[in-house]
Structure formats: C-alpha cells, structure tokens
Amino acid sequence: MAPKPTVERAARRPTVTIDADSGIRGPRPVRADAVKNRQRILEAAEATFASEGLSVPVDTVAERAGVGVGTLYRHFPTKEALFEAIVMTRLEDLVAEAQTAADAEDPTVALFAFLRHFAGQASSKHDLFDAMGAAGIDIKSQCAETVDELKRAVDRLVERVKAAGTIRSDVQADEIIGLIMGTCQAAQNSGLDEAASQRMLDIVCDGIRTSNQS
C-alpha cells in the first residue's frame, strides 16, 4: 500500500489556485519578473522586426531584450507566436483606449483624440503588419475576436458623439476607421512627411464634424 502523503511531501507539491466560481484548478499567478521579461521581449521584437524584417533570428531579439534565448522560447515557442503576441498587444491597447474614450465626460474630444492615437498606431505598425501578411501569417483570423471588441467600443463612442450632435448623423464607426486607415496608407505610399500626414488626418476629421464644429 502506498504511504499516505506527509505534510513535508505535500509542501513540495506545486501550488495551484482554484477559481471560486468554476472550481477549475489553475497555475500559480505569473511572477513579476516573468511579466517584465515578456514585455521586454515584445518591445524588442517589434522594433527589430520593423527595422530588419521578419527573417531576423530570434537570438537577435533575445539579445536586444536582455534575456536568454531559452527565456524567449518559454514565453513564445515559435516565431509565429511572437508575431501574434505583438499584434494582440497593440490591439488590446487600442481596445482599452477606445473603451476609456467611450466613457469619457466629453465624448467629442475623446473621439478625435482616439482617432489620432489610432492613426499613429496604424502608421507606425503598417510595415510590420504588411510583412506578416506577405509571410503568410493570418493575423486577421487569429485576432478577429479582439478586433470585434474594438469595433464595439468605437461604435459606442461614435453613438455618444452623434447624440451630442458634434459629428454627422449619417456617418458610421466602420466608415470613420476606414477613412483613417486609408489616409494613413495613402500618406505612407506617397512618402509624405509627418506634417503632411497630419494635415490629411485633419481634413478627414473636419469632414465628419457637423457644420457648427471647428
């Protein structure tokens, strides 16, 4: 007969947490240093891939992040997983920004601030996303749920601004986002500088305002 577990033996077992609602056992919360390592890897990877292309070795990313290659692979088993995490992180940041804007006291100010933030993200990440698409990485389907969450937050924000009467009542959230993304694409394709790109964005924003808004 197997011996009964002793207190000492039980203390050596891995600690687990149990969700109060579901009763499902889960792993111990991630340590703070692991969270910091993951963030450093993502930041280093995004900068490296954007400047040197997707073919750069992960060893280079690990070196720039100041972690070992083994640490990188513990967080991201494949390069594709690292690509996806970069995109998901940026999308989740945008979702949080949109949700905050949708609850803002002045939704009009919040909308146009969000659109400028969104344009900055779209412009700075465009090359990276294009390279992922060219490499056959299907980012859209993998991030579909988060994109839908972003759309819902922007929809709510736009409806609040419509109710305030400060943007055209016939414009839809999808149309606004499409205009912003198209403007960023056109500015990039034309090789325009930051000032010219900003002017194009201003024109788009002015176009959706009501006539009594400046």
Does the pLDDT of residue 97 top 90, yes or no? yes
Q: Under a CB-based contact definition with an 8 Å cutoff, are residues 95 and 114 in contact? A: no
Half-sphere exposure of 38 (CA within 13 A, CB side): 15
Specify the pLDDT at position 46: 86
Q: Which of 53-57, 112-116, 155-159, 209-213 has the least mean pLDDT?
A: 209-213
Confidence at 125, pLDDT banded by 50, 70, 90: low
Residue 3 has pLDDT above 60, yes or no: no
Q: What is the mean pLDDT of residues 199-210?
A: 93
- Asked if 132 contacts 139 with a C-beta cutoff of 8 angstroms, the reply is yes
> What is the pLDDT at residue 20?
45
Kindly indicate the confidence band of residue 60, based on its pLDDT and cuts at 50, 70 and 90.
very high
User: Per-residue pLDDT tens for 173-201?
Assistant: 999 988 998 888 888 788 888 888 889 99
Q: Per-residue pLDDT for 17 more than 50?
A: no
Domains of the chain, earliest start first: 28-77 (1.10.10.60), 79-208 (1.10.357.10)
Average pLDDT of the chain? 80
What is the average per-residue pLDDT within 44-65? 88
**3-state SS, residue 26:** strand
Residue 99 has pLDDT above 70, yes or no: yes
User: Which pLDDT value is given to residue 12?
Assistant: 38
- Predicted pLDDT at 38: 93
CB of 125 within 8 A of CB of 90? yes
Q: Is the pLDDT of residue 77 over 70?
A: yes
At 144-156, the pLDDT tens digits run 888 889 899 999 9
b/e code 149-182 from CB counts within 10 Å (16+ = b): bbeebbebbbebbbeeebbbeebebeebbebbee
Residue 14 has pLDDT above 50, yes or no: no
